[in-house]
């Protein structure tokens, strides 16, 4: 992003919020002068992230959480991963922000201001799990190019907005509609205005679900800038790349959307399993839809020291794309035997579910606690890496933590 413009627009929180102090002699600062403090911006301060978050890339900004930071039932901004493909928009004017609905299968072209959306349609609030399709990529071998996410590219925040369905129906959907596509205001890294950094979408069935929102609030406040302020699409349970940020347009398409990062190996995996490193022809690649069943132990932090005889209470979250998690187990003997955890139902469809369990270790020494979720259809997390694919998507292997009993 152009940093000076970011500073201008940071008026959202104000310059001094980022610096955590006032600029003395601010009135004497030359008009176009960029204070040193912004020349090498601290992304943790700039995006109000916890210093425990891990920065993976600064061009574009990408940041992930660590498992123990995700312990909250509802993910606060400070622990939410950031995945950007392009440059965060630097000129956001909320008062004249419009979203245009168009496309071959739209009855008409129609634009809405933010105020139109908020007042014309009923507002809904859901907790929705968003996981980057590439979460877990760092483990694949041969390695896959892209951000080397470990386990931290997942969140479940509370989103408020209007149903995409209500808006699309207000515009009118023609019977030949197949797919919706989003268009965001973020610029391509090349700064070429004719290129989109990413423009994905989803089949009509997903677009028309109750929980698919055009959201204007996250956790009861304006959406943070990095997460799509002032308007984002939220399609829980699918690769988070479907949840377009900084939404300026939605197209109702009469074919599978062919925008940026819809083809090739982007967010697509071999339709049939392939050997690691194998070349896969384009026509044998399938678009990722529902994300696979997965879980995370968020307490304790890996490396915990426990006194022998003191029961250890573990807890975390589990999620299963479009489905519900049916059961949750842990193992302390490298997967030989498994014990059931308590598992809560989701607050609403597509929200992650919380689990806990109490472990009594038999003797002093080093242990690993492994966690494994099974979805309502019987699909279970693998103990080792699942099917290799060119871009390293869909790694839902069991999460493991180390524990020392002393
Ligand atoms: N406009 C736009 N939307 C976007 C992206 C982007 O780069 N630009 N990244 C996508 C990807 S790949 C992911 S994983 C999620 C990340 O959402 P978050 O940064 O709010 O966690 O946003 C998706 N929506
Ligand atoms: Mo992503």
Token pair recorded at residue 102: 């168009």
- Summarize the confidence of residues 210-234 as an average pLDDT: 98
The answer to whether the Cα torsion of 226, 232, 79, 60 is positive or negative is negative
Spans of all domains in the chain:
2-40, 61-287, 294-405
Q: Say how far apart CA 75 and CA 154 lie, in whole Å.
A: 9
Pocket residue to mutate for ligand 1, from 46, 55, 85, 250, most atoms within 8 A of Cβ: 85
Strands 304-306 and 399-405: parallel
Compute the mean pLDDT over every residue in the chain, rounded to the nearest whole number: 93
Per-residue pLDDT reduced to its tens digit, 367-386? 999 999 999 999 999 998 99
Give the confidence band of 19 by pLDDT, cuts at 50, 70, 90: low
Report which ligand 1 atom has the smallest distance to the Cα of 84.
7
Whole-structure pTM value: 0.91
What pLDDT is recorded for position 21? 66
Instruction: Judge whether 403 and 363 are in contact, CB under 8 Å.
Output: no
* CA-angle at 295, arms to 293 and 299, nearest 5°: 170
pLDDT of residue 41: 79
User: What beta strand segments (E) does 29-163 contain?
Assistant: 54-58, 61-64, 82-83, 98-102, 110-113, 123-131, 154-163
Indicate whether residue 243 lines ligand 1 (CB < 6 A): yes
pLDDT per residue over 64-107, tens digit each?
999 999 999 999 999 999 999 999 998 899 999 999 999 999 99
Which residue's alpha carbon is at the smallest distance from atom 10 of ligand 1? 241
**Would you tell me which CATH number, out of the four given (3.30.479.10, 2.130.10.30, 2.60.40.650, 3.40.50.11750), belongs to the domain 294-405?**
2.60.40.650
Mean pLDDT of 338-363: 98
Per-residue confidence band for 347, with pLDDT thresholds at 50, 70 and 90: very high
Determine if residue 392 is left, alpha or beta; phi over 0 gives left, psi from -120 to 50 gives alpha, anything else beta.
left
Cα torsion angle, 9, 244, 112, 255, sign: positive
* 61 touches ligand 1 (CB under 6 Å): no
Q: What is the pLDDT of residues 277-305, one digit of tens each?
A: 999 999 999 999 999 999 999 999 999 99
Which atom belonging to ligand 1 lies closest to the Cα atom of 80?
A: 21
Q: How far is the CA of 129 from the centre of ligand 1 (A)?
A: 13
- Per-residue pLDDT of 24-56, as tens digits, reads 888 888 887 877 766 677 899 999 999 999 999
Ligand 1 and 105: CB distance under 6 A = no
Quote the Cα angle for 250-179-98, to 5°: 5
pLDDT for the residue 32:
79
Residue nearest ligand 1's atom 17 by CA? 83
Ligand 1, atom 24, lies closest to the CA of: 244
Our answer on whether the CB atom of 267 is closer than 6 Å to any ligand 1 atom is: no
How far apart are the CA of 63 and the centre of ligand 1, in A?
12
Give the residue whose CA is nearest to atom 22 of ligand 1. 241
Q: Please check whether the domain covering 61-287 is classified as CATH 3.40.605.10.
A: no
CA proximity to 260, closest of 208, 207, 205, 187: 187
Backbone angles phi, psi at 283, to 5 degrees: -75, -10
CB of 245 sitting under 6 A from ligand 1: yes
Q: Which ligand is nearest to the CA of 260?
A: 1
Model pLDDT, residue 184: 98
Instruction: Give phi and psi for 315, each to the nearest 5.
Output: -150, 165
Residue 131 C-alpha to ligand 2 middle, in angstroms? 7
Name the DSSP letter for residue 352.
-
Say what the pLDDT of residue 18 is: 54
pLDDT (tens digit per residue) in 112-139:
999 999 999 999 999 999 999 999 999 9
Q: What is the largest CA-CA distance in the chain?
A: 70
pLDDT at res. 31: 82
pLDDT attached to residue 9: 41
């Amino acid at each position: 992003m152009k940093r000076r413009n970011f500073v201008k627009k940071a008026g959202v929180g104000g310059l001094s919020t980022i610096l955590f102090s006032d600029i003395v002699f601010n009135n004497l600062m030359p008009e176009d002068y960029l204070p040193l403090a912004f020349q090498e911006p601290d992304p943790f301060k700039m995006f109000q992230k916890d210093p425990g978050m891990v920065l993976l890339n600064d061009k574009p900004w990408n940041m992930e959480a660590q498992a123990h930071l995700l312990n909250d039932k509802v993910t606060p901004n400070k622990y939410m991963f950031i995945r950007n493909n392009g440059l965060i928009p630097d000129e956001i004017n909320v008062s004249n922000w419009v979203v245009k609905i168009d496309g071959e299968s739209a009855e008409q072209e129609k634009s809405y201001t933010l105020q139109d959306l908020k007042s014309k349609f009923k507002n809904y609030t859901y907790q929705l799990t968003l996981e980057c399709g590439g979460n877990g990529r760092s483990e694949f071998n041969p390695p896959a190019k892209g951000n080397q996410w470990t386990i931290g590219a997942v969140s479940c925040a509370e989103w408020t907005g209007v149903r995409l369905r209500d808006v699309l129906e207000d515009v009118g959907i023609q019977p030949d509609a197949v797919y919706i596509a989003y268009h965001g205001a973020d610029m391509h890294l090349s700064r070429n205005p004719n290129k989109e950094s990413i423009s994905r979408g989803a089949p009509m069935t997903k677009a028309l679900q109750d929980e698919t929102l055009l959201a204007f609030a996250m956790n009861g406040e304006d959406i943070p800038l990095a997460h799509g302020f002032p308007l984002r699409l939220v399609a829980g349970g699918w690769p988070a790349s479907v949840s377009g940020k900084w939404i300026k347009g939605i197209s109702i398409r009469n074919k599978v959307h062919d925008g940026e990062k819809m083809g090739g190996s982007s967010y697509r995996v071999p339709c049939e399993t392939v050997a690691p490193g194998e070349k896969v022809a384009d026509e044998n690649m399938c678009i990722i839809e529902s994300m696979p069943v997965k879980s995370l132990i968020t307490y304790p932090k890996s490396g915990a020291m426990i006194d022998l005889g003191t029961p250890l209470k573990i807890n975390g979250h589990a999620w299963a794309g479009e489905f519900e998690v049916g059961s949750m187990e842990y193992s302390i003997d490298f997967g030989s035997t498994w014990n059931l955890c308590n598992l809560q139902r989701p607050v609403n469809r597509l929200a992650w579910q919380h689990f806990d369990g109490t472990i009594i270790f038999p003797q002093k020494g080093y242990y690993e606690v492994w966690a494994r979720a099974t979805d309502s259809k019987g699909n279970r997390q693998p103990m080792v890496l699942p099917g290799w694919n060119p871009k390293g998507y869909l790694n839902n292997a069991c999460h493991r933590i180390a524990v020392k009993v002393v």
